[in-house]
Amino acid sequence: MSRVLFIVPPLTGHVNPTVSVARALLARGHQVAWAAHARYVGHLLPEGAEIVALDDARFDDAWQSLRERSKAVRGFESLQFLWQEVLVPLAQAMLPGVTEAIARFRPDVLAVDQQALAGALAARRSGLPWATLSTTSASVVDPLEGLPKVKQWVDDKMADLERGAGLTPVVSPDLSPHRVIVFSTLELIGNERAWPEHYRFVGPSIQDRPDPTPFPWESLAPGPRVFVSLGTVSTEVGARFYQNLVEGLGDIGAQIVLAAPPALVPDPPAPFLVRERVPQLLLLPKMSAVVCHAGHNTVCESLAHGLPLVVAPIRDDQPVVAHQVVQAGAGVRVRYGRMSPKSLRDAVLTVLHDSTYRRAAERVRDSFRAAGGAVAAADALEGLV
Protein backbone atom coordinates (compact mmCIF):
# COMPACT_ATOMS: atom_id res chain seq x y z
CA MET A 1 0.00 0.00 0.00
CA SER A 2 1.24 3.46 -0.92
CA ARG A 3 0.23 6.89 0.31
CA VAL A 4 -0.66 9.44 -2.38
CA LEU A 5 -1.20 13.12 -1.62
CA PHE A 6 -3.11 15.21 -4.17
CA ILE A 7 -2.19 18.91 -4.10
CA VAL A 8 -4.86 21.04 -5.75
CA PRO A 9 -5.77 24.72 -6.15
CA PRO A 10 -9.20 25.93 -4.97
CA LEU A 11 -10.71 25.60 -8.45
CA THR A 12 -13.48 23.15 -9.33
CA GLY A 13 -12.12 22.12 -12.71
CA HIS A 14 -8.78 21.22 -11.19
CA VAL A 15 -10.21 19.17 -8.34
CA ASN A 16 -12.86 17.12 -10.18
CA PRO A 17 -10.39 15.02 -12.23
CA THR A 18 -8.61 13.89 -9.06
CA VAL A 19 -11.76 12.28 -7.64
CA SER A 20 -11.95 9.37 -10.09
CA VAL A 21 -8.18 8.83 -9.94
CA ALA A 22 -8.33 8.70 -6.14
CA ARG A 23 -11.20 6.20 -6.26
CA ALA A 24 -9.17 3.96 -8.57
CA LEU A 25 -6.22 4.11 -6.17
CA LEU A 26 -8.42 3.41 -3.15
CA ALA A 27 -9.88 0.36 -4.89
CA ARG A 28 -6.32 -0.98 -5.19
CA GLY A 29 -5.67 -0.56 -1.47
CA HIS A 30 -3.72 2.69 -1.51
CA GLN A 31 -4.32 5.54 0.91
CA VAL A 32 -5.06 8.98 -0.53
CA ALA A 33 -5.52 12.48 0.82
CA TRP A 34 -5.88 15.99 -0.53
CA ALA A 35 -3.93 19.09 0.47
CA ALA A 36 -6.70 21.54 -0.33
CA HIS A 37 -8.75 24.54 0.73
CA ALA A 38 -11.57 22.61 2.37
CA ARG A 39 -14.06 25.46 2.38
CA TYR A 40 -13.79 25.92 -1.37
CA VAL A 41 -13.45 22.36 -2.67
CA GLY A 42 -14.27 19.99 0.19
CA HIS A 43 -17.80 19.46 -1.16
CA LEU A 44 -16.34 18.17 -4.44
CA LEU A 45 -14.48 15.30 -2.78
CA PRO A 46 -15.91 11.87 -1.89
CA GLU A 47 -17.69 11.49 1.41
CA GLY A 48 -15.14 10.71 4.10
CA ALA A 49 -12.22 11.98 2.02
CA GLU A 50 -9.09 12.75 4.01
CA ILE A 51 -8.28 16.45 3.65
CA VAL A 52 -5.12 18.02 5.00
CA ALA A 53 -6.65 21.47 5.10
CA LEU A 54 -4.80 24.50 3.86
CA ASP A 55 -5.37 27.95 5.34
CA ASP A 56 -8.63 29.23 3.84
CA ALA A 57 -8.21 32.62 5.51
CA ARG A 58 -5.06 33.42 3.53
CA PHE A 59 -7.04 32.80 0.36
CA ASP A 60 -10.31 34.42 1.45
CA ASP A 61 -8.82 37.91 1.62
CA ALA A 62 -7.92 38.06 -2.05
CA TRP A 63 -10.37 35.70 -3.78
CA GLN A 64 -13.42 37.94 -4.09
CA SER A 65 -11.32 40.85 -5.33
CA LEU A 66 -9.66 38.60 -7.91
CA ARG A 67 -13.00 37.33 -9.19
CA GLU A 68 -14.25 40.85 -9.69
CA ARG A 69 -11.09 42.08 -11.44
CA SER A 70 -10.89 39.00 -13.65
CA LYS A 71 -14.19 39.93 -15.31
CA ALA A 72 -12.51 42.84 -17.08
CA VAL A 73 -9.73 40.89 -18.80
CA ARG A 74 -9.88 38.88 -22.01
CA GLY A 75 -7.63 36.82 -24.25
CA PHE A 76 -3.89 36.82 -23.60
CA GLU A 77 -4.24 39.73 -21.18
CA SER A 78 -6.07 37.27 -18.95
CA LEU A 79 -3.07 34.90 -19.06
CA GLN A 80 -0.86 37.64 -17.66
CA PHE A 81 -3.50 38.37 -15.03
CA LEU A 82 -3.71 34.67 -14.20
CA TRP A 83 0.00 34.43 -13.50
CA GLN A 84 0.61 37.75 -11.79
CA GLU A 85 -2.58 38.07 -9.78
CA VAL A 86 -3.61 34.46 -9.19
CA LEU A 87 -1.05 31.69 -9.62
CA VAL A 88 2.04 33.37 -8.13
CA PRO A 89 0.28 34.83 -5.04
CA LEU A 90 -1.59 31.54 -4.60
CA ALA A 91 1.70 29.62 -4.67
CA GLN A 92 3.20 31.91 -2.05
CA ALA A 93 0.13 31.56 0.16
CA MET A 94 -0.10 27.76 -0.24
CA LEU A 95 3.57 26.81 0.18
CA PRO A 96 3.73 26.78 4.02
CA GLY A 97 0.52 24.72 4.24
CA VAL A 98 1.55 22.29 1.53
CA THR A 99 4.93 21.78 3.19
CA GLU A 100 3.17 21.03 6.47
CA ALA A 101 0.70 18.70 4.73
CA ILE A 102 3.56 16.63 3.31
CA ALA A 103 5.14 16.39 6.77
CA ARG A 104 1.83 15.36 8.36
CA PHE A 105 0.57 12.86 5.77
CA ARG A 106 3.99 11.47 4.90
CA PRO A 107 3.13 10.45 1.32
CA ASP A 108 5.10 8.13 -0.91
CA VAL A 109 3.99 9.98 -4.04
CA LEU A 110 2.71 13.49 -4.72
CA ALA A 111 0.10 14.20 -7.42
CA VAL A 112 0.34 17.94 -8.07
CA ASP A 113 -2.06 19.97 -10.18
CA GLN A 114 -0.05 21.99 -12.69
CA GLN A 115 -1.51 25.26 -11.43
CA ALA A 116 -0.83 24.44 -7.78
CA LEU A 117 2.70 25.77 -8.14
CA ALA A 118 3.35 25.45 -4.40
CA GLY A 119 3.00 21.69 -4.82
CA ALA A 120 5.76 21.58 -7.42
CA LEU A 121 8.05 23.67 -5.20
CA ALA A 122 7.31 21.57 -2.11
CA ALA A 123 7.77 18.35 -4.07
CA ARG A 124 11.24 19.37 -5.19
CA ARG A 125 12.20 20.39 -1.67
CA SER A 126 10.91 17.09 -0.26
CA GLY A 127 12.79 14.88 -2.71
CA LEU A 128 9.68 12.72 -3.15
CA PRO A 129 8.64 11.32 -6.53
CA TRP A 130 5.87 13.46 -7.96
CA ALA A 131 3.59 13.72 -10.94
CA THR A 132 2.15 16.78 -12.60
CA LEU A 133 -1.59 16.56 -13.22
CA SER A 134 -2.20 18.64 -16.33
CA THR A 135 -5.92 19.27 -16.04
CA THR A 136 -5.85 21.57 -19.06
CA SER A 137 -4.04 20.50 -22.19
CA ALA A 138 -3.39 24.16 -23.01
CA SER A 139 -0.57 24.14 -20.47
CA VAL A 140 1.44 21.35 -22.04
CA VAL A 141 1.38 22.89 -25.51
CA ASP A 142 2.84 26.20 -24.25
CA PRO A 143 0.21 28.83 -25.10
CA LEU A 144 2.86 31.57 -24.87
CA GLU A 145 5.18 30.08 -27.48
CA GLY A 146 4.32 32.82 -29.99
CA LEU A 147 4.68 35.60 -27.40
CA PRO A 148 8.37 35.55 -26.40
CA LYS A 149 8.21 38.67 -24.21
CA VAL A 150 5.22 37.40 -22.24
CA LYS A 151 6.84 33.98 -21.98
CA GLN A 152 10.04 35.52 -20.60
CA TRP A 153 7.98 37.50 -18.10
CA VAL A 154 6.28 34.31 -16.89
CA ASP A 155 9.63 32.49 -16.71
CA ASP A 156 11.05 35.31 -14.60
CA LYS A 157 8.07 35.12 -12.23
CA MET A 158 8.58 31.38 -11.86
CA ALA A 159 12.30 31.81 -11.25
CA ASP A 160 11.55 34.33 -8.49
CA LEU A 161 9.18 31.82 -6.90
CA GLU A 162 11.80 29.09 -7.04
CA ARG A 163 14.50 31.26 -5.50
CA GLY A 164 12.07 32.35 -2.80
CA ALA A 165 11.52 28.68 -1.97
CA GLY A 166 15.28 28.09 -1.74
CA LEU A 167 15.48 26.30 -5.09
CA THR A 168 17.64 26.80 -8.16
CA PRO A 169 15.50 27.79 -11.15
CA VAL A 170 14.94 25.09 -13.76
CA VAL A 171 13.17 24.96 -17.11
CA SER A 172 9.40 24.35 -16.78
CA PRO A 173 9.36 24.06 -12.99
CA ASP A 174 5.61 23.37 -13.04
CA LEU A 175 6.20 20.09 -14.93
CA SER A 176 7.54 17.04 -13.10
CA PRO A 177 10.62 15.32 -14.50
CA HIS A 178 9.18 12.02 -13.20
CA ARG A 179 5.67 11.95 -14.69
CA VAL A 180 3.28 14.33 -16.45
CA ILE A 181 -0.30 13.05 -16.61
CA VAL A 182 -2.33 14.89 -19.25
CA PHE A 183 -6.11 14.56 -19.06
CA SER A 184 -6.51 14.65 -22.84
CA THR A 185 -5.24 12.78 -25.90
CA LEU A 186 -3.24 13.65 -28.99
CA GLU A 187 -6.40 13.27 -31.08
CA LEU A 188 -7.53 16.55 -29.51
CA ILE A 189 -4.21 18.23 -28.66
CA GLY A 190 -2.54 17.50 -31.96
CA ASN A 191 0.54 15.43 -32.66
CA GLU A 192 2.88 17.96 -34.21
CA ARG A 193 5.74 17.36 -31.78
CA ALA A 194 7.59 14.54 -30.05
CA TRP A 195 6.60 14.15 -26.41
CA PRO A 196 8.96 13.06 -23.61
CA GLU A 197 8.69 9.44 -22.50
CA HIS A 198 7.46 10.37 -19.03
CA TYR A 199 4.28 11.97 -20.41
CA ARG A 200 1.06 9.99 -20.19
CA PHE A 201 -2.02 11.07 -22.19
CA VAL A 202 -4.89 9.45 -20.34
CA GLY A 203 -7.98 11.32 -21.54
CA PRO A 204 -10.57 12.82 -19.17
CA SER A 205 -10.90 11.46 -15.64
CA ILE A 206 -14.68 11.21 -15.36
CA GLN A 207 -15.31 7.60 -14.37
CA ASP A 208 -16.79 6.85 -10.96
CA ARG A 209 -17.59 10.44 -10.04
CA PRO A 210 -21.05 10.45 -8.47
CA ASP A 211 -23.13 13.62 -8.66
CA PRO A 212 -26.25 13.88 -6.47
CA THR A 213 -27.38 17.19 -8.01
CA PRO A 214 -31.15 16.95 -8.53
CA PHE A 215 -32.55 17.41 -12.03
CA PRO A 216 -36.09 17.27 -13.53
CA TRP A 217 -35.42 14.46 -15.99
CA GLU A 218 -39.08 14.31 -16.93
CA SER A 219 -38.73 17.83 -18.39
CA LEU A 220 -36.38 16.71 -21.14
CA ALA A 221 -38.22 17.02 -24.44
CA PRO A 222 -37.99 14.52 -27.31
CA GLY A 223 -35.82 15.44 -30.25
CA PRO A 224 -32.44 17.24 -30.34
CA ARG A 225 -31.18 18.92 -27.19
CA VAL A 226 -28.35 21.42 -26.75
CA PHE A 227 -26.54 21.83 -23.43
CA VAL A 228 -25.14 25.30 -22.66
CA SER A 229 -22.71 26.21 -19.88
CA LEU A 230 -20.19 28.94 -19.12
CA GLY A 231 -18.64 26.92 -16.30
CA THR A 232 -18.35 27.79 -12.64
CA VAL A 233 -16.01 30.78 -13.02
CA SER A 234 -17.40 32.56 -16.09
CA THR A 235 -21.14 32.45 -15.33
CA GLU A 236 -21.20 35.92 -13.77
CA VAL A 237 -19.87 37.63 -16.90
CA GLY A 238 -22.42 36.04 -19.20
CA ALA A 239 -25.37 38.48 -19.21
CA ARG A 240 -24.88 39.52 -22.85
CA PHE A 241 -24.14 35.92 -23.84
CA TYR A 242 -27.43 34.78 -22.31
CA GLN A 243 -29.32 37.48 -24.17
CA ASN A 244 -27.80 36.34 -27.47
CA LEU A 245 -28.63 32.77 -26.52
CA VAL A 246 -32.31 33.49 -25.90
CA GLU A 247 -32.70 35.58 -29.06
CA GLY A 248 -30.73 33.22 -31.28
CA LEU A 249 -31.79 29.76 -30.14
CA GLY A 250 -35.42 30.21 -29.14
CA ASP A 251 -36.81 28.65 -32.32
CA ILE A 252 -34.16 26.32 -33.74
CA GLY A 253 -36.19 23.16 -33.19
CA ALA A 254 -34.15 21.90 -30.25
CA GLN A 255 -34.49 22.04 -26.49
CA ILE A 256 -31.88 24.25 -24.82
CA VAL A 257 -30.71 23.02 -21.42
CA LEU A 258 -28.91 25.94 -19.81
CA ALA A 259 -26.77 25.76 -16.66
CA ALA A 260 -27.03 29.31 -15.30
CA PRO A 261 -28.59 31.25 -12.43
CA PRO A 262 -32.28 31.63 -13.40
CA ALA A 263 -32.18 35.29 -12.36
CA LEU A 264 -29.79 35.97 -15.25
CA VAL A 265 -32.21 34.48 -17.79
CA PRO A 266 -35.64 35.90 -16.90
CA ASP A 267 -38.64 34.64 -18.89
CA PRO A 268 -36.77 32.25 -21.19
CA PRO A 269 -38.62 30.93 -24.26
CA ALA A 270 -40.46 27.63 -23.98
CA PRO A 271 -37.64 25.47 -25.46
CA PHE A 272 -35.33 26.56 -22.62
CA LEU A 273 -34.82 24.59 -19.41
CA VAL A 274 -32.74 26.71 -17.02
CA ARG A 275 -31.13 25.25 -13.89
CA GLU A 276 -28.50 26.85 -11.68
CA ARG A 277 -26.71 23.53 -11.25
CA VAL A 278 -26.97 20.33 -13.25
CA PRO A 279 -25.49 16.82 -12.94
CA GLN A 280 -23.38 17.44 -16.01
CA LEU A 281 -21.85 14.00 -16.48
CA LEU A 282 -25.28 12.35 -16.25
CA LEU A 283 -26.89 14.93 -18.51
CA LEU A 284 -24.43 14.94 -21.41
CA PRO A 285 -25.35 11.47 -22.79
CA LYS A 286 -28.85 12.83 -23.39
CA MET A 287 -27.64 15.84 -25.42
CA SER A 288 -27.05 16.35 -29.16
CA ALA A 289 -24.51 19.21 -28.98
CA VAL A 290 -22.86 21.53 -26.45
CA VAL A 291 -22.26 25.29 -26.33
CA CYS A 292 -19.60 26.34 -23.83
CA HIS A 293 -16.75 28.70 -22.98
CA ALA A 294 -14.09 26.15 -24.02
CA GLY A 295 -13.26 25.25 -20.45
CA HIS A 296 -11.12 22.11 -20.62
CA ASN A 297 -13.32 19.96 -18.41
CA THR A 298 -16.57 20.78 -20.20
CA VAL A 299 -14.93 20.30 -23.60
CA CYS A 300 -13.46 16.92 -22.70
CA GLU A 301 -16.58 15.71 -20.92
CA SER A 302 -18.63 16.62 -24.01
CA LEU A 303 -16.22 14.98 -26.42
CA ALA A 304 -16.12 11.89 -24.20
CA HIS A 305 -19.75 11.45 -25.28
CA GLY A 306 -19.05 12.23 -28.93
CA LEU A 307 -20.85 15.58 -28.81
CA PRO A 308 -19.90 18.35 -31.27
CA LEU A 309 -19.26 21.77 -29.76
CA VAL A 310 -19.75 25.47 -30.25
CA VAL A 311 -16.98 27.15 -28.27
CA ALA A 312 -16.90 30.80 -27.19
CA PRO A 313 -13.63 31.25 -25.28
CA ILE A 314 -13.43 34.11 -22.80
CA ARG A 315 -10.08 34.02 -20.97
CA ASP A 316 -7.13 32.05 -19.61
CA ASP A 317 -6.52 28.75 -21.42
CA GLN A 318 -9.88 28.80 -23.21
CA PRO A 319 -8.66 30.24 -26.56
CA VAL A 320 -6.07 27.46 -26.76
CA VAL A 321 -8.59 24.73 -25.96
CA ALA A 322 -11.03 26.24 -28.47
CA HIS A 323 -8.30 26.11 -31.12
CA GLN A 324 -7.76 22.43 -30.34
CA VAL A 325 -11.47 21.71 -30.79
CA VAL A 326 -11.55 23.47 -34.16
CA GLN A 327 -8.31 21.83 -35.35
CA ALA A 328 -9.72 18.42 -34.43
CA GLY A 329 -12.79 19.21 -36.54
CA ALA A 330 -15.08 18.66 -33.56
CA GLY A 331 -16.63 22.09 -33.29
CA VAL A 332 -17.12 25.69 -34.37
CA ARG A 333 -15.67 28.73 -32.63
CA VAL A 334 -17.58 31.99 -32.18
CA ARG A 335 -16.13 35.28 -30.95
CA TYR A 336 -17.40 35.83 -27.41
CA GLY A 337 -16.94 39.60 -27.53
CA ARG A 338 -18.48 40.00 -30.98
CA MET A 339 -21.15 37.34 -30.82
CA SER A 340 -24.60 38.10 -32.20
CA PRO A 341 -27.79 36.04 -31.94
CA LYS A 342 -27.37 35.14 -35.61
CA SER A 343 -23.71 34.04 -35.36
CA LEU A 344 -24.54 31.84 -32.39
CA ARG A 345 -27.62 30.42 -34.10
CA ASP A 346 -25.68 29.65 -37.29
CA ALA A 347 -22.91 27.91 -35.33
CA VAL A 348 -25.33 25.75 -33.35
CA LEU A 349 -27.29 24.74 -36.43
CA THR A 350 -24.02 23.86 -38.17
CA VAL A 351 -22.85 21.40 -35.50
CA LEU A 352 -26.34 19.95 -35.17
CA HIS A 353 -26.86 19.26 -38.86
CA ASP A 354 -23.40 18.84 -40.41
CA SER A 355 -22.42 15.28 -39.48
CA THR A 356 -18.69 15.89 -40.05
CA TYR A 357 -18.49 17.60 -36.66
CA ARG A 358 -20.12 14.69 -34.87
CA ARG A 359 -17.86 12.19 -36.62
CA ALA A 360 -14.79 14.17 -35.52
CA ALA A 361 -16.13 14.36 -31.97
CA GLU A 362 -16.64 10.60 -32.04
CA ARG A 363 -13.02 10.09 -33.13
CA VAL A 364 -11.88 12.08 -30.11
CA ARG A 365 -14.30 10.08 -27.94
CA ASP A 366 -12.78 6.83 -29.16
CA SER A 367 -9.28 8.10 -28.38
CA PHE A 368 -10.40 8.98 -24.86
CA ARG A 369 -11.79 5.50 -24.31
CA ALA A 370 -8.60 3.88 -25.55
CA ALA A 371 -6.44 6.10 -23.32
CA GLY A 372 -7.90 4.71 -20.10
CA GLY A 373 -8.90 7.81 -18.11
CA ALA A 374 -8.70 7.57 -14.34
CA VAL A 375 -7.45 3.98 -14.40
CA ALA A 376 -4.53 4.93 -16.64
CA ALA A 377 -3.76 7.91 -14.40
CA ALA A 378 -3.74 5.61 -11.36
CA ASP A 379 -1.37 3.27 -13.23
CA ALA A 380 0.94 6.19 -13.94
CA LEU A 381 1.02 7.19 -10.26
CA GLU A 382 1.63 3.61 -9.14
CA GLY A 383 4.60 3.50 -11.48
CA LEU A 384 6.34 6.17 -9.38
CA VAL A 385 6.34 4.14 -6.16
Whether residue 348 lies inside any domain: the answer is yes
Asked whether residue 13 falls in the same domain as residue 149, the answer is yes
pLDDT band at 143, cuts 50/70/90? low
Asked whether residue 233 falls in the same domain as residue 115, the answer is no
Asked whether residue 226 falls in the same domain as residue 168, the answer is no
Q: How far is CA 316 from the centre of its chain?
A: 11
Asked whether residue 246 falls in the same domain as residue 334, the answer is yes
Task: Say whether pLDDT at 53 is over 90.
Answer: no
Asked whether residue 106 falls in the same domain as residue 14, the answer is yes
Give residue 235's pLDDT: 52
Give per-residue pLDDT as tens, 11-37. 888 999 999 999 999 999 999 999 999
Asked whether residue 145 falls in the same domain as residue 225, the answer is no
CA 245 to each of CA 147, 237, 260, 263: distance values in angstroms, whole numbers, following the listed order: 33, 14, 12, 15
- For residues 264 and 248, what is the distance between their CA atoms, to the nearest angstrom? 16
- For residues 166 and 161, what is the distance between their CA atoms, to the nearest angstrom? 9
Number of domains in the chain: 2
Is the Cβ–Cβ distance between 296 and 14 less than 8 Å?
Answer: no
Asked whether residue 98 falls in the same domain as residue 230, the answer is no
Give per-residue pLDDT as tens, 205-248. 998 777 889 999 999 999 999 999 987 655 556 678 889 999 99
Whether residue 119 lies inside any domain: the answer is yes
Task: Specify the range with the lowest mean pLDDT, choosing from 188-197, 305-314, 345-354.
Answer: 188-197
Percent of the chain's residues with pLDDT above 70: 91
- For residues 329 and 310, what is the distance between their CA atoms, to the nearest angstrom? 11
Asked whether residue 355 falls in the same domain as residue 237, the answer is yes
Question: What is the end-to-end Cα distance of the chain in Å, rounded?
Answer: 10
Asked whether residue 230 falls in the same domain as residue 355, the answer is yes
- For residues 295 and 234, what is the distance between their CA atoms, to the nearest angstrom? 9
Residue 65 CB contacts under 8 Å (≥ 6 apart), including other chains: none
Whether residue 197 lies inside any domain: the answer is no
Give residue 190's pLDDT: 87
- For residues 228 and 331, what is the distance between their CA atoms, to the nearest angstrom? 14
DSSP symbols for 93-153: HHHHHHHHHHHHH--SEEEEETT-HHHHHHHHHHT--EEEEESSHHHHT-TTTT-HHHHHH
Query: Last residue of some domain: 155, 182, 209?
Result: 182
Whether residue 198 lies inside any domain: the answer is no
Whether residue 252 lies inside any domain: the answer is yes
Whether residue 212 lies inside any domain: the answer is no
Give per-residue pLDDT as tens, 259-275. 998 888 888 998 999 99
Task: Say whether pLDDT at 187 is over 70.
Answer: yes
Give residue 317's pLDDT: 80
Asked whether residue 29 falls in the same domain as residue 170, the answer is yes
Asked whether residue 267 falls in the same domain as residue 163, the answer is no
Asked whether residue 155 falls in the same domain as residue 224, the answer is no
**CATH number of the structural domain spanning residue 121:** 3.40.50.2000
Whether residue 144 lies inside any domain: the answer is yes
Instruction: For helices 239-249 and 341-353, give the axis angle rounded to 10 degrees.
Output: 60
Give per-residue pLDDT as tens, 112-137. 999 899 999 999 999 999 999 998 88
Residue-range definition of the domain harbouring residue 15: 3-182
Whether residue 328 lies inside any domain: the answer is yes
Give residue 85's pLDDT: 72
Name which of 258, 264, 244 is nearest 335 in CA terms: 244
